[in-house]
Amino acid sequence: MFFASDNSGPVPPQILDALARANQGPAKAYGNDPLSEEVVHRLRTLFEAPDAAVYLVATGTAANSLALASYVKPYDAIFCTPPSHIEEDECNAPEFYTGGAKLRLVGDSDLLDADDLRAAIDRSGRAVHNAQRGAVSITQATEKGHVYTLEDIAALSAVARDYGLPLHLDGARFANACAALDCTPAEMTWKAGVDVAVFGGTKNGLMGVEAVIFFDPEKAREFELRRKRGGHLFSKHRYLAAQMQGYLQDDLWLDLAREANAKSKRLLDGLTGVAEIAGTPQVNMIFAKLPRKLHAKAFAAGAYYYCMDDVESGDQDQPVMARYVCDWSISEDQIDRYLEIVTG
Amino acid sequence: MFFASDNSGPVPPQILDALARANQGPAKAYGNDPLSEEVVHRLRTLFEAPDAAVYLVATGTAANSLALASYVKPYDAIFCTPPSHIEEDECNAPEFYTGGAKLRLVGDSDLLDADDLRAAIDRSGRAVHNAQRGAVSITQATEKGHVYTLEDIAALSAVARDYGLPLHLDGARFANACAALDCTPAEMTWKAGVDVAVFGGTKNGLMGVEAVIFFDPEKAREFELRRKRGGHLFSKHRYLAAQMQGYLQDDLWLDLAREANAKSKRLLDGLTGVAEIAGTPQVNMIFAKLPRKLHAKAFAAGAYYYCMDDVESGDQDQPVMARYVCDWSISEDQIDRYLEIVTG
Amino acid sequence: MFFASDNSGPVPPQILDALARANQGPAKAYGNDPLSEEVVHRLRTLFEAPDAAVYLVATGTAANSLALASYVKPYDAIFCTPPSHIEEDECNAPEFYTGGAKLRLVGDSDLLDADDLRAAIDRSGRAVHNAQRGAVSITQATEKGHVYTLEDIAALSAVARDYGLPLHLDGARFANACAALDCTPAEMTWKAGVDVAVFGGTKNGLMGVEAVIFFDPEKAREFELRRKRGGHLFSKHRYLAAQMQGYLQDDLWLDLAREANAKSKRLLDGLTGVAEIAGTPQVNMIFAKLPRKLHAKAFAAGAYYYCMDDVESGDQDQPVMARYVCDWSISEDQIDRYLEIVTG
Amino acid sequence: MFFASDNSGPVPPQILDALARANQGPAKAYGNDPLSEEVVHRLRTLFEAPDAAVYLVATGTAANSLALASYVKPYDAIFCTPPSHIEEDECNAPEFYTGGAKLRLVGDSDLLDADDLRAAIDRSGRAVHNAQRGAVSITQATEKGHVYTLEDIAALSAVARDYGLPLHLDGARFANACAALDCTPAEMTWKAGVDVAVFGGTKNGLMGVEAVIFFDPEKAREFELRRKRGGHLFSKHRYLAAQMQGYLQDDLWLDLAREANAKSKRLLDGLTGVAEIAGTPQVNMIFAKLPRKLHAKAFAAGAYYYCMDDVESGDQDQPVMARYVCDWSISEDQIDRYLEIVTG
């Protein structure tokens, strides 16, 4: 009953198989091996972007920070929402990689609103005293489990373009969003005006691989140098490539995401009527309130997930918000067992 | 006939097995899983340092830069040799992670000399105008394939201590040096006065794992925050831990290094008398000069390694320096075949 | 009719005299001259802080950023208000000097509220993923012309202390606040719990000098190195010291501030009933709305100050917010002339 | 008998007069006042560069670091000599402002040799692992009192241009070099291929003003933002401009430099035959060895200058190297008195 995060589960056997296949004989280092080159080609094909500059790194924080640092100057601001991963969960990595840019928080939701964005950019000064306008960053699916529609992204991109700003898409849960929208990666990115996207693998079944896709290949050299300078260029790059190869093969990435979303839907259905559901869960993440005693009971039975408040002390009948995340590996039995505990 | 680097070869089957073993059920993220904790314990035991702060990262550049940044202030200087990996091969990563510290090059050899070090530190000013004295960094085995004796390290450490400076040991080829010296990890580090060591795995059979060992655990929290800020904290940390577990199990790390050193010795023996050997190769790396035409002949036959000059154009009889590195995976047959080509 | 800022006016003759007095013969550089030492002593006396570490720099941005960087780590957050000068008007200088710390905006006022501060600190995570708690920064008087009472400062300091955080006071208008509160510098700083204060001179009659006062002298060496590294250590330091000497002599600093506040009061009295005054102006800054046509009329007559909206185009009867700042040098005639224009 | 540095002396009366003239009425801030604009115009005229981007800052360290940071990326290297001020005397300011670029030391002299430069650039790798080629920096006159000929500068510029690198000229003693070469500022800069020059005032009679001149105005906006971010944009900019106005008026800058050079020549002539002169002093700086006892005698009589070794203890007959710097203000009497002491 691990609902803590989609980084809790094991990787599917296809990934181990891909690693084993890649583990034959010598290979050139730093991404100059045939497998790495094949994976770049495959990602370009998947994204219908034959000229894209495509890079693999091992963590989402590295992917986001390096992507942003390729566009944003140290004296710039990045427009994003308050709960953005880049704001809340990366220990100032974006500030580090950009050399000190500022994150300018817009609105109070996880979903960036195009009008709010325009107003925030307008409000930001252009004098030499002010942080300059650097980039817009959104997360798809968001940190609260919501999904921008293709129209939403296009509207945000239109605002960004009006000010000459690039649009960055943090796609730690890219696949879950694609599955929810039933759209192609190209539709969710460059066709909607995204300039650089992170195609996440780690939260969706890989050990630790994220692809950074620049639809404008002009940023390629700068990214390469910043990646190396950040210590994120793997010498034995084939083992990143192998994971991504397994992930792309036969659309495994999409199957895993669909499965994670479906598991979450099962949990959501079970919680509905019992818990107070926050927002409208669209992918594999649910925020919901249950009485403290039910969380305590579940924890005592071995469940593991985040509560926004202490569950051991305090009024036992008081509702406490919890975050549930399902990945592909969680079984229906575990979900049902959890539901039994909190509804029983 | 891949002699390009010890990052060219595959990983041994024990590592894939360890990954498979670790790939069971859910696990807490960010190093809070039992396997990660076990590996920390094992490394402390191996280093006879029960209080050491021990961390895993995926690349050597990250390991070195984060280790140094935990000690060195932005206004400091790091004393090291001109061919240091931190100076030559990390694209300013140490400068990045320290916030702009300077690397102060000492001597003109890959082996730092204690008297040279003392003179360099003495020469460095202490006024507010000068880069302050920050740390001393050495590489064991060096970038030229040489090994400091335990006495050498103790002498360097004594100088560093006289000035209150920490001693950092870049151990990308730690195991090869340990094997060459037939000493314990403790003897080669804290017993000789090293303050923070990188215990490298990537060049010795892992996909991408290095351990950073602080013998002074006071640096722990700062390292943790800097690691996260650098995007080097893996959420699915168990897959780093698993590799390290496989590496430590039954002293695999030492066996692999011995095998790499032995392979290099076989190559060295074969080259002796034919090539002009530079320095005294002590681990798994050889620098040697052969007539250009012999390199060209070997390349034509499929050999792959670095030459310091173009082999295709130029005087065919002129000697050209090459670097050969063997890892555990290179076969005796490949070595012998290469020797046949260049001696035949 | 220059109400644009308190950096518009000339310096009083005492400052030119002090420069001339200091301009005799040779002097040691970098603050080692007798005049610089005298000024440090005088500032310690003024602040009743015999052990304080005291430094002069030429700009407020440098003073704030260097003061904060002496406390705040690159992975930390600084708690401040949205209109803070460090957030809005320093082009990411605090981020630059701290190596990438984050400014965490608290509340929506220019006056930081102690309860809001406590809630914001509580809300900020302490996990390795989150920006760590670094410092609290307030501006006295604020960017909107308000003044914290001594009790307010003590309450904020109490919160900061509960979390072990230092309290930084941006005192660009320190003197104006002191005059308004009729308190001593010591009362407004360390006696109320401030750890590091900027004692501003530039907005109050100097060419460009700010004093940074660390009540904890332990930060001295780090500040000195960071000041030099930032290019803010003047070789001919005596000319900063001379200005500060003139400023301290016979309480000129306080006289100038009282005069500026009184001039602002005259303007405020004249505007009351005519304009819509925002907040409660307490020092030398007024925010007030007048119909657009009155601003346009005043500008046509040579007035100069900031309006928050275009005054040339748009509804001429619509109220437009303006910012008025008076310094010591503005004459009563100019104020009265302006009032005549907008009330005439 | 202050020969410590050309930052020891007072400023000439013309500078105080210029400050007094500028100190009339209100003025727009941040360089938007008429005097600041006039000075930009005058500098463009002096440099025969009508399109140059021209900026004033208060310190040489700021001028150099900001100039370099406008060209050099964090992953780049700056080629310079070992005794460069940017390497030895700025406490890592260039590393700070560039975001962590590396200073690559070329040769072992204070005068950069064009062949050495070419070899150093050639040797520097271009792979992603290496610090990239960023800029070339020279100091005119050098830190050892030598002067590049116009041909020397052109030769260095030609090398830089071959690799697409900008040439930066640290002109802390620009005027002294111009006087020594009897050439125009344009000849010593853009006509010889310099891309950005610092036209120093502080060491030649100003309180603290340096002009940064970009002959390629494309760097203007970036410099402006970096200057503000560094805290180096003066609000009361007119007081920097006034000093520069006084400096340019009637070629005061050149007169002061000629006077300083002439004073140094008088000292040199007196020392010749008595002291062992190092190199060939060409401007206002002399390095010379005298027996320790003579330094001690001079110090006892009130002389003040730097000796490279302790003068109080040690063999009294042993020669000890000293640095003498004269500025315009030192009197012939003082020089003669010093010469009497050491020759008497």
Quick: pLDDT tens for D6-31.
Answer: 999 999 999 999 999 999 999 999 99
What amino acid occupies position B255?
A: D
C-alpha C295/C-alpha C300 separation (Å) is 8
Test A90 with C128 for CB contact under 8 angstroms. Answer: no
The confidence score (pLDDT) of residue D190 equals: 98
User: What is the per-residue pLDDT across B244-287, written as a single tens digit (0 to 9) for each?
Assistant: 999 999 999 999 999 999 999 999 999 999 999 999 999 999 99
B96 contacts on A by Cβ (under 8 Å): 229-230
Give A158: exposed, middle or buried? Use CB within 10 Å, 0-12, 13-18, 19+: middle
Paired tokens of D104: 């690559």
Look at residue C338 and tell me whether its pLDDT is greater than 90. Answer: yes
Residue B169 Cα, gap to closest chain A Cα (Å): 17
Paired tokens of B225: 């925050």
The secondary element (H helix, E strand) that includes residue C223 is helix C220-229
- DSSP-derived 3-state class of residue A101: coil
- Kindly identify which residue of chain D lies nearest to residue C58, measuring between CA atoms: D234
Look at residue D70 and tell me whether its pLDDT is greater than 90. Answer: yes
Residue A90 Cα, gap to closest chain B Cα (Å): 6
User: What is the per-residue pLDDT across A293-334, written as a single tens digit (0 to 9) for each?
Assistant: 999 999 999 999 999 998 888 899 999 999 999 999 999 999
Give the E-state strand segments of B33-110 in sequence order: 53-57, 76-80, 102-105
Alpha helices for chain D (secondary structure H): 13-22, 34-46, 60-69, 85-88, 93-98, 114-123, 150-162, 174-181, 185-188, 220-229, 238-248, 252-271, 292-300, 332-343
Q: What is the pLDDT along chain A (344 residues), one digit of tens a residue?
A: 899 999 999 999 999 999 999 999 999 999 999 999 999 999 999 999 999 999 999 999 999 999 999 999 999 999 999 999 999 999 999 999 999 999 999 999 999 999 999 999 999 988 999 999 999 999 999 999 999 999 999 999 999 999 999 999 999 999 999 999 999 999 999 999 999 999 999 999 999 999 999 999 998 999 999 999 999 999 999 999 999 999 999 999 999 999 999 999 999 999 999 999 999 999 999 999 999 999 999 999 999 999 999 888 889 999 999 999 999 999 999 999 999 999 87
Q: Which of A65, A203, A231 is nearest residue B93 as measured by Cβ atoms?
A: A231
A198 neighbors A63 (Cβ within 8 angstroms)? yes
pLDDT category, B210, cuts 50, 70, 90? very high
User: What is the per-residue pLDDT across B56-81, written as a single tens digit (0 to 9) for each?
Assistant: 999 999 999 999 999 999 999 999 99
Test C75 with B228 for CB contact under 8 angstroms. Answer: yes
User: What is the per-residue pLDDT across B118-168, written as a single tens digit (0 to 9) for each?
Assistant: 999 999 988 999 999 999 999 999 999 999 999 999 999 999 999 999 999
Residue B93 Cα, gap to closest chain A Cα (Å): 4
Q: What single DSSP character describes residue A1? A: -
**Mean pLDDT for the stretch of residues C177-186:** 98
Paired tokens of C199: 């004692």
C-alpha A95/C-alpha A88 separation (Å) is 12
Test C7 with D29 for CB contact under 8 angstroms. Answer: yes
pLDDT category, C344, cuts 50, 70, 90? confident
Test C235 with D5 for CB contact under 8 angstroms. Answer: yes
Interface of C with D in 126-185 (CB under 8 A): none
pLDDT category, B225, cuts 50, 70, 90? very high
Look at residue D344 and tell me whether its pLDDT is greater than 90. Answer: no
pLDDT category, D274, cuts 50, 70, 90? very high
Residue B99 Cα, gap to closest chain C Cα (Å): 6
Touching check for B124 and chain C: CB below 8 Å? Answer: no
Phi and psi, residue B154, nearest 5°: -65, -35
Touching check for A299 and chain C: CB below 8 Å? Answer: no
Phi and psi, residue D340, nearest 5°: -60, -45
Q: What single DSSP character describes residue D129? A: T
Beta bridge mates, C129: none
The confidence score (pLDDT) of residue D85 equals: 98
- Which are the contacts of A269, defined by CB distance < 8 A and separation ≥ 6? none
Burial of D75-108, coded b for 16+ CB within 10 Å and e otherwise, reads bbbbbbbebbbbbbbbbbbbbbbbbbbbbbbbbe
Q: Which of D7, D230, D329 is nearest residue C231 as measured by Cβ atoms?
A: D230
Alpha helices for chain A (secondary structure H): 13-22, 34-46, 60-69, 85-88, 93-98, 114-123, 150-162, 174-181, 185-188, 220-229, 238-248, 252-271, 292-300, 332-343
| Strand order across the D319-325 sheet | D276-278, D285-291, D319-325, D306-307
Over pLDDT 90: what percentage of chain D? 97
C-alpha D34/C-alpha D241 separation (Å) is 10
Q: Which of C7, C8, C229 is nearest residue D93 as measured by Cβ atoms?
A: C229
- Kindly identify which residue of chain D lies nearest to residue A97, measuring between CA atoms: D99
Look at residue D313 and tell me whether its pLDDT is greater than 90. Answer: no
Arithmetic mean of pLDDT over chain B: 97
C-alpha B325/C-alpha B286 separation (Å) is 6
Test C96 with D202 for CB contact under 8 angstroms. Answer: no
The confidence score (pLDDT) of residue D297 equals: 95
pLDDT category, D126, cuts 50, 70, 90? confident
User: What is the per-residue pLDDT across B316-339, written as a single tens digit (0 to 9) for each?
Assistant: 999 999 999 999 999 999 999 999
Q: Which of C23, C225, C230 is nearest residue D231 as measured by Cβ atoms?
A: C230
The confidence score (pLDDT) of residue B60 equals: 98
**Mean pLDDT for the stretch of residues C21-28:** 96
**Mean pLDDT for the stretch of residues D243-263:** 98
The confidence score (pLDDT) of residue C312 equals: 84
Arithmetic mean of pLDDT over chain C: 97
Interface of B with A in 8-27 (CB under 8 A): 8-11, 16, 19-20, 23-27
Q: Which domains does chain A have, with CATH numbers?
A: 10-252 (3.40.640.10), 257-343 (3.90.1150.10)
- DSSP-derived 3-state class of residue B58: coil
Q: How far is CA D235 from CA A151, C237, D15, in A?
A: 46, 19, 20
Paired tokens of A130: 């002010």
Touching check for C105 and chain A: CB below 8 Å? Answer: yes
Test C92 with A128 for CB contact under 8 angstroms. Answer: no
The confidence score (pLDDT) of residue D66 equals: 98
Q: What single DSSP character describes residue A10? A: P
pLDDT category, B312, cuts 50, 70, 90? confident
Test B75 with C228 for CB contact under 8 angstroms. Answer: yes
C-alpha A261/C-alpha A267 separation (Å) is 10
Test D89 with B130 for CB contact under 8 angstroms. Answer: yes
Pairing of strands A276-278, A285-291: antiparallel
- Kindly identify which residue of chain A lies nearest to residue D231, measuring between CA atoms: A129
C-alpha C216/C-alpha C225 separation (Å) is 17
Q: What is the complex's ipTM, to 2 decimals?
A: 0.97
User: What is the per-residue pLDDT across B126-136, written as a single tens digit (0 to 9) for each?
Assistant: 899 999 999 99
